[in-house]
Amino acid sequence: MLRPSLSRSLSRTMNLRFATPIASLLMRTLASALPVNGGRHLSSSSDRFVLDAALEAPAGFIFEKLPFSRQTRPFSTRMSALPGPQPEGEPDTTDFRIQFYDAEGKKVSPWHNVPLKSGNLYNMIVEIPRFSRAKMEISTKEENNPIKQDMKKGKLRYYHGPIFWNYGALPQTWEDPQVVGGEELFGSGGDNDPVDVVEIGETPVDAGSIMKVKPVGCLAMIDDGEVDWKVLAIREGDPKFDLINDISDVDTQDRTTVSLS
- What is the tens place of the pLDDT at every residue in 145-183? 999 999 999 999 999 999 999 999 999 999 988 888 887
- DSSP symbols for 57-69: STT-------TTE
Q: What is the mean pLDDT of residues 47-70?
A: 33
The shares of helix, strand and coil residues in the chain, as percent rounded to the nearest 5, are 15, 35, 50
Q: Do residues 258 and 3 make contact, with C-beta atoms less than 8 angstroms apart?
A: yes
Q: Is 228 helix (H, G, I), strand (E, B) or coil?
A: strand
What mean pLDDT, rounded, does the chain reach? 74
Question: What's the pLDDT at 254?
Answer: 56
Q: What is the mean pLDDT of residues 73-93?
A: 73
Euclidean distance between CA atoms 136 and 150, whole angstroms: 6
- Report whether pLDDT(14) > 50: no
- Report whether pLDDT(20) > 90: no
Domains in the chain: ranges and CATH? 4-23+74-259 (3.90.80.10)
Euclidean distance between CA atoms 69 and 28, whole angstroms: 7
Question: What's the pLDDT at 142?
Answer: 97
Least confident of 37-46, 127-136, 174-183: 37-46
> What is the model's pTM?
0.72
At 141, the amino acid letter reads K
Q: What is the mean pLDDT of residues 206-230?
A: 90
At 206, the amino acid letter reads D
Euclidean distance between CA atoms 68 and 126, whole angstroms: 21
Q: What is the mean pLDDT of residues 23-28?
A: 32
Q: Do residues 108 and 83 make contact, with C-beta atoms less than 8 angstroms apart?
A: yes
Question: Which active-site residues does the annotation give?
Answer: 159
